Structure 1
Amino acid sequence: MNWNYSQPVKIIFGNNKIEELHDIFNSLGLKKGILICDPIFKSNGLMDKILDFSAGLLVETFYDITPNPTVDSVDSCAAIMREKNIEFAVALGGGSSLDCAKAACSVCKTPYSIADFHSGSKRLGSEHIPLIAIPTTSGTGSEVTPVAVLSNPHSGVKAPLVSDNFFPSHAIIDPALTLTVPAQVTASTGMDVLSHALEAFWSLNHQPICDALALHAAKLVFKYLPIAYADGSNLEAREKMSEASLIAGLAFGLPKTAGSHACSFPLTNLYHIPHGEACAFTLDAFTKINAEAEDGRLHEFARAAGFENAYKMADTISEMKKAMKLKITLKDAGIPEDNLEELSRLSQHPNMLNNPVKMNVESILKMYESLI
């Protein structure tokens, strides 16, 4: 087996680490930055706190970001970076803000729209400005990956864009920032973490270091997500879910995700299911499907995670989804049975090629039909 592993992001983990922003920026020689964040942080005061902690080193803000970041948002952010000669960026928020910032930090060094790179008509060079990522949810792991998932409302395409430029220079994980995340967002983003861990492990591109990280993250999610969902003020559960999110991000960064993520893109595009919940929608089904892979790896993983086998682990995923009021059936998700063939066809995203059990339109359709 041949494999390699690299992780260029420096990770800073701990409660209230955002209070040290000015010292961190100074130690890196950073000046004249832009804060890119979710719009909620303008209204709830967190944006102003971050600006205060920067002590004047963040000179611009950008918060025109939708839950599924668009190429238009990236272009608007990049335009400010060019106009103001911004030297570095800080991304604060969930995956949407982080992904928008990643793309903007690169495209700002070109005269083009990010849509040109998202469509594949152009390829990004290596030039970009440094990014410091501060996640406020325990979900995407985007702070340690080279992936930005963007939507193009003009073409109707939502897809990941990958570039080594997109690795943040630093990730600051402050679990205290997640204490106010609502229960349903906690559930959705937490299941995204579990999807990252499981799909990284069963990806055809899996490797030993990422396997170990995936197991560590999954065990944390199974133990602490129900606690964080039931009591968002439980700091231990929030810390452990922040750890799980980060570790799962490290786990899938190289192997990439597989079937559940492939299906999540049309589920979000067509039926507006939040990303993490869209991944969770098929995660238990794919766990059962992939348990049938001839190598038996997933059963070993499940036993190491505390389950009798992978089928019992899949049952627990189903129970977690039900307990956290996530969508379980096609009816829950508002998916007409007449649309399943189209959904199955659109679910053949390239990530599906990473699945250990080969899937085609017919087998994907059969899987969706099991969710009636």
Structure 2
Amino acid sequence: MAWTYSQPVKIIFGNNKIESLHEIFTELGLKNGLLVSDPIFVQNNVADKIIDHSKGLLVKVFSDIVPNPTVDNVDACAKLIKENNLEFVVALGGGSSLDCAKAAASVCVTEDSIVPYHNGEKKFPENHLPLIAMPTTAGTGSEVTPVAVLSNPYIGKKAPLASDNFYPLCAIVDPVLTTTTPNFVTASTGLDVLAHALEGFWSIHHQPICDAVAQHSTKLVFKYLLRSYKDPNDIEAKEKMCEASLMAGLAFGLPKTTGPHACSFPLTNLYHLPHGEACAFTLDYFARINAEAENGRLNNFAKEIGFEDAYAMADEIANLKKALNVKTTLSNAGIKDEDIENIAKLSMHPNMLNNPVTMDQESLIKMYESLR
């Protein structure tokens, strides 16, 4: 096996690290920055605390972001950066604020909208503003990946956009920031962690370092996600889920995601399932499909983390989804039988090509029919 590994993001991990923002920014030579924040953190004054801890190095706030950030959100953010000659960007929040900030920090050095980049018509120039990622959910792993997922409501498109520009200069992971996360968000984002770890492992582009962190992350999710969901003040569970999220980001960043993520896009676009819940919707099914692929790699993986085999692990994923009160059937997701063929067609996203077992529209129809 030949492989390469690269991870350019400096990672600072620990409880209450936000109190050291001024020192961190100064050490990195940053000043005159923009805080890109989920709206809730402006409303509950967490954004104010971040600005206070920066001691004057963050001078503007942008929070006009919807849960699935749009091209308009990115363009508005980039406009604010240009109008105020801002020099770096800090993203505070879940995947939405990080995705918006990543794209804005690159497109702001051009005269363009983000649209032609999202459409694949243009490639970003190499220069971009430095980005600091501060996740508030244990979920996307976006703080260590070069990917942003954006929506264009004008053409009904939600799709990932990848660029090396999107790697943050630094990720500051403070588990204390996740203690205010609502339970349903903890559930959805935690399942996203599990999907990232497992898909990174079974992707056809897997490699040893990513395999190792995928295994570490998966074990943590099975041990700590339900605890984190049940008790927002369980700081050990919150810390371990932040660790799992970060490791899962490292696990899938290079191998890329596979079938469950490919299927998640129509489930979110058409039926508005939150991203992590949408990924988990088919995750246990794909664990069974992929169990014997590549001489049973996934079976061996499952045994190494304490399961009898991949099928037993898939059963536990299904049990975990039920315990977290997420949608598990077509009927409770609002999907009708007559929709199945269209969903299967839309699930043939390029990420499906990374799955170790080849899937086509017919096999996807069979899968969705089993989820009635």
Shared fold (TM-score greater than 0.5)? Answer: yes
**Equivalent in the alignment of 1:49:** 49
Residue in 2 aligned with 1:298? 298
1:75 equivalent to 2:75? Answer: yes
**Any idea what the Cα deviations from partners look like across 1:204-231, whole Å, max 9, x if unmatched?**
0000000001000000000000111111
Alignment match, 1:214: 214
Do residues 153 (structure 1) and 153 (structure 2) align?
A: yes
Q: How far off is 1:29 after superposition?
A: 1.2
Give the match for residue 223 of structure 2.
223
The superposition leaves residues 95-130 of structure 1 with CA deviations (integer Å, 9 ceiling, x where unpaired) of: 000000000000001111111100011111111000
Distance 1:243 1:161 in 2: 25
Question: Helix, strand or coil: the match of 2:148?
Answer: strand
Partners of 2:292 and 2:299 within 8 A in 1: no
1:284-321 deviation line (CA, Å, top 9, x unaligned): 00001111324200000000111000000000000000
Q: Residue 331 of structure 2: SS of its match in structure 1?
A: helix
**SS of equivalent to 2:357:** coil
Report the residue type matching 2:197 in the other structure. A
Distance in 1 between the 2:41 and 2:313 partners?
Answer: 37
Q: Does 1:323 align with 2:323?
A: yes
Residue of structure 2 equivalent to 1:283: 283
> Is 1:104 matched with 2:138?
no
- Counterpart secondary structure, 1:330: coil
2:267 counterpart letter in structure 1: L
Aligned partners of 1:43 and 1:165: how far apart in 2? 30
Deviations 1:178-226 (CA, angstroms, capped at 9, x unpaired): 1111111111000000000000000000000000010000000000001
Instruction: Please identify, of 165-174 and 25-34, the stretch whose mean Cα deviation from structure 2 is larger.
Output: 25-34
Q: In the alignment, residue 311 of structure 1 is paired with which amino acid?
A: Y
Detail structure 1 runs of 4+ shifted over 2 Å in the superposition: none
Q: 1:4-23 to 2 correspondence within 5 Å?
A: 4-23=4-23
TM-score between the two structures when normalised by the length of structure 2 = 0.99
Q: Shift of residue 333 of structure 1?
A: 0.5
CA distance in 2, matches of 1:250, 1:33: 27
Q: Give the corresponding residue for 1:180.
A: 180
Match of 1:171 in 2: 171
- Secondary structure of 1:269's match? helix
Q: Give per-residue Cα distances to partners, 1:8-57, cap 9 Å, x unaligned.
A: 00000000000100111111111100000000011101011011111111
Q: Distance in 2 between matches of 1:185 and 1:75?
A: 26
Q: Distance in 2 between matches of 1:79 and 1:231?
A: 40
Encode CA deviations 1:305-347: one digit per residue, 9 max, x unaligned: 1100000000000000011111010011100010000000000
Over the aligned positions, Cα root-mean-square deviation in angstroms equals 0.6
Alpha-carbon distance between aligned partners in 1 of 2:33 and 2:112, rounded to the nearest angstrom: 22
Map of 2:32 onto structure 1: 32
Q: Distance in 2 between matches of 1:296 and 1:313?
A: 14
Quote the residue 2:256 is aligned against: 256
Partner Cα separation in structure 2 for residue 125 and residue 30 of structure 1: 21
- 2:357 maps to what in 1? 357
2-side partners of 1:180 and 1:61: how far apart?
Answer: 20
TM-score, length basis structure 1: 0.99
Determine if contact 2:294/2:356 at 8 Å carries over to the other structure: no
CA–CA distance in 2 between the matches of 1:231 and 1:302?
A: 27
**Structure 2 gaps, min length 5:** none
Between the aligned partners of 1:127 and 1:194, the Cα distance in structure 2 is: 33
Corresponding residue for residue 235 of structure 2 = 235
Secondary structure of the residue aligned to 1:331 is coil
**Secondary structure class of the residue paired with 1:161:** strand
Matched letter for residue 198 of structure 1: L
Amino acid at match of 2:70: T
Aligned to 2:205: 205
Q: What is the distance in 1 between the residues matched to 2:256 and 2:52? A: 37
Q: How many residues align?
A: 372
Of 340-349 and 287-296, the range deviating more from structure 2: 287-296
Question: Aligned partners of 2:29, 2:194: CA distance in 1, in Å?
Answer: 37
| In 2, Cα distance between equivalents of 1:302 and 1:157 | 35
Deviation sequence 1:121-157 (CA, Å, 0-9, x none): 1111111000000000000000000000000011111
Residue of structure 2 equivalent to 1:266: 266
8 Å Cα contact 2:189/2:276 also seen in 1? yes
Query: Is 1:63 paired with 2:63?
Result: yes
CA–CA distance in structure 1, aligned partners of residues 222 and 180 of structure 2: 21
Structure-1 separation of matches of 2:246 and 2:134? 11
